Amino acid sequence: MKHTDPRDTRLVQFAQAALDLVTALQPPAFGHDNERHAAGVRQIESLVQPLRRARRPSPKPPLPGTREVSQLTELSGRGFARRREEIANRLQGYIDALHTAPREAPEAVREAIRTIAPGSAALIQDADEAWRAFHAGSYKAAVIMAGATLEGVLQAAVARLGEPTEAAFNKVYPARKAPADADSYRFEEALGVLKQMGVLTSAVTHVARGIKELRNFVHPAVQKRQRSRVTDTRALLALQAVAALCEELAERLETD
């Protein structure tokens, strides 16, 4: 059963309030209080604005534009009725999308993880937890779980590639002995080996390394020193890094 997360609850409240105002709005007529009518339209616009700015839900259904809302003060008769119905339908569609928004990682990410590590349900659960944390507004947790997912996926890729990874490790780290098994590979080691083997591009490798920096922001001392914190933007970058790395790894491993 899907539950509306706290961030979505607020968006639903805005959308529902706007929808109620739209459906109650009457077309201008003789003796109509134009100023009160205009004030109602402005209130509708003020409620729709935060919905346009919000990242939720994804994909986001179309919302009424500023011009469309303002036309409620200009149109009359059938034109007004049609515009009011269009706006109401879009708001209802947005509310419905919020109520059915998934609480798991995108299917493309989940499928990529299945390709990299068949039968590894735990990695998919970690990815789902990262996405759930993000949509609940728990950005530190999202970054931590994104990092955990990436590390597990990298180790799974090393395990799948098998013996050739040892030679790649020796090239990247000539003064060190390769770990005895894939689970002993650290994040940076697995990343370096996979890049050396041509399984990961430089661009995605660079993006994945950024996760290490983002994870450091979960520590209060680092936040204070850097004068920064884990924001929704940074957490979203972590999720995007998971998606990019998983999809590239899955594609390369399928073709090799």
What does the pLDDT look like over 193-235, one tens digit per residue? 999 999 999 988 888 888 776 666 555 554 555 555 677 888 8
Give the pLDDT band of residue 237 (cuts 50, 70, 90).
confident
| pLDDT tens, residue by residue, 108-139 | 899 999 999 988 889 999 999 998 888 777 88
Query: By the 8 A CB rule, do 4 and 98 touch?
Result: yes
Half-sphere exposure of 238 (CA within 13 A, CB side): 34
The tokens 């990682």 sit on which residue? 105
Mean pLDDT for 132-159 is: 89
**What string of DSSP letters covers the chain?**
-----HHHHHHHHHHHHHHHHHHHPPPP-TT--HHHHHHHHHHHHHHHHHHHH---SSSPPP---HHHHHGGGT--HHHHHHHHHHHHHHHHHHHHHHHT--SS--HHHHHHHHHHSTT-HHHHHHHHHHHHHHHTT-HHHHHHHHHHHHHHHHHHHHHHH-THHHHHHHHH-TTSPPPSSGGG--HHHHHHHHHHTTSS-HHHHHHHHHHHHHHHTTSHHHHHHHT----HHHHHHHHHHHHHHHHHHHHHHHH-
Cα gap 148→129, rounded to integer Å: 10
Burial 27-40 (b: 16+ CB within 10 A, else e): bbeeeeeeeebeeb
Cα gap 248→240, rounded to integer Å: 12
Residue 195: CB atoms within 10 A of its CB come to 18
Model pLDDT, residue 185: 94
